[in-house]
């Protein structure tokens, strides 16, 4: 059991934007544990955010010469977590350490791991393609499963994002949804959608040929909007449970490179996306606050909640049901 749990920690987790870690250290929470991120002589470093001396938050100190200095008595720690200085002490240095976590930066995002991950982290669904990206981060009062499902759930857009992701009319079309999956992933593929009338689509998209919503282990949600000539817009969001009620996310907004037009669209994508994010955070917070009242209730898995059980299975390290039995649904979207 503990071996399985340990292996489950051997993945990279995206935790911050590179741009957030400049001169000052940054504290993040990873499954309830505080970590301090800072730039050491060897590159990005992640340590348990607690000085072993009197347990002060190292992240409230400063970075001096690539080492982190505790704000209380000035003990310093290098990127490996070794205590390198005790101001005022004369003689041999005792060997004190802070727990160190594996940390790397890829494409403007910082990844850490509480295990020993093999290989490179997964970044986004258009890795290696000729694209334009913007990076974003968010914090939501919710759980990873609820946020992931929300990102991938097409049916809430008529209500939560009316006018932005959907038109203002209540006109719907029969759409085909194919759900497939494999080890560590599940996706829903929507075809037969009409031209989209929401503001985002009208500004940024043409005809849509298909939409794909995908979940990947451990907490990655991605959406792809495809047109006649290939991918038009996409987003990959890496989510993590920071503490019991907070989900932190960092991700990429992705657009096709198409000269000046592509640049302009990419400029518009981020603020529009931010509005959608705000709308989602509002409903998710409402659900999170409201869930506390007695009697305790489990959410109903309705007939249109295609991915909920598969996401739950993947998060538990199990094979999603869709891997054995792909499903096809017809819905009005």
User: Smaller CB distance to Fe ion: residue 187 or 280?
Assistant: 280
**Contact pattern from residue 232 through residue 271 relative to Fe ion, giving x for each residue in contact according to CB under 5 A and a dash for the rest:** ----------------------------------------
User: Smaller CB distance to ligand FES: residue 82 or 217?
Assistant: 82
CA distance 109 to 127: 13
Q: How far is the CB of 58 from ligand FES (least distance, A)?
A: 7
State the DSSP code for 49: S
Whether the CB-CB separation of 325 and 170 falls below 8 Å is answered with: no
CA distance 125 to 52: 41
**Beta-strand pair 100-106/76-77:** unpaired
Q: Which of residues 50-109 bind ligand FES (CB under 6 A)?
A: 51, 53-54, 56, 70, 72-73, 75
# binding residues, ligand FES (CB under 6 A) = 8
Region near Fe ion per CB under 5 A, out of 1-9, 170-178, 274-282, 317-325 = 274-282
Other C-beta atoms lying within 10 Å of the C-beta of residue 298 = 6
State the DSSP code for 66: T
Q: Is 110 in the site for ligand FES (CB under 6 A)?
A: no
User: What does 280 interact with, of ligand FES, Fe ion, none (CB < 5 to 8 A by kind)?
Assistant: Fe ion
Which listed residue (146, 224, 248, 280) binds Fe ion by CB under 5 A?
280
Two structure tokens written together for 162: 């009316």
Cα→Cα distances 226→150, 196, 223, Å: 20, 12, 10
Return all residues near 156 (Cβ < 8 A) that are at least 6 apart: 150, 283
Q: Which residues contribute to the site for ligand FES (CB under 6 A)?
A: 51, 53-54, 56, 70, 72-73, 75
Q: Which residues contribute to the site for Fe ion (CB under 5 A)?
A: 280
């Amino acid at each position: 059991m503990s071996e399985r749990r340990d292996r489950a920690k051997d993945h990279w987790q995206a935790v911050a934007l590179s741009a957030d870690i400049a001169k000052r250290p940054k504290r993040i929470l990873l499954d309830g544990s505080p970590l301090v991120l800072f730039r050491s002589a060897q590159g990005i470093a992640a340590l348990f955010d607690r000085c072993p001396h009197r347990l002060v938050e190292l992240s409230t100190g400063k970075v001096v010469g690539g080492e982190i200095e505790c704000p209380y008595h000035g003990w310093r720690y290098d990127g490996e977590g070794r205590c390198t200085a005790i101001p005022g002490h004369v003689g041999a240095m005792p060997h004190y350490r802070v727990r160190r976590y594996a940390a790397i930066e890829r494409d403007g995002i910082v990844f850490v791991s509480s295990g020993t991950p093999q290989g490179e982290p997964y970044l986004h669904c258009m890795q290696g393609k000729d694209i334009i990206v913007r990076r974003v981060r968010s914090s939501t009062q919710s759980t990873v499963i609820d946020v992931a499902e929300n990102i991938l759930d097409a049916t809430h857009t008529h209500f939560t994002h009316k006018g932005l992701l959907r038109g203002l009319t209540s006109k719907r079309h029969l759409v085909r949804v194919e759900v497939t999956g494999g080890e560590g992933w599940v996706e829903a593929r929507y075809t037969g959608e009409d031209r989209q009338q929401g503001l985002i689509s009208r500004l940024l998209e043409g005809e849509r040929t298909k939409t794909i919503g995908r979940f990947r282990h451990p907490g990655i949600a991605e959406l792809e909007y495809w047109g006649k000539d290939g991918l038009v817009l996409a987003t990959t969001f890496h989510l993590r449970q920071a503490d019991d009620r907070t989900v932190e996310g960092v991700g990429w907004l992705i657009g096709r490179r198409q000269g000046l037009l592509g640049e302009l669209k990419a400029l518009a994508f981020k603020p529009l996306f931010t509005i959608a994010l705000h709308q989602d955070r509002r409903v998710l917070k409402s659900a999170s606050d409201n869930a506390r009242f007695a009697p305790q209730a489990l959410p109903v898995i309705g007939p249109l909640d295609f991915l909920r059980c598969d996401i739950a299975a993947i998060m538990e390290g199990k094979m999603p049901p869709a891997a054995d039995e792909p499903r096809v649904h017809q819905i009005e979207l």
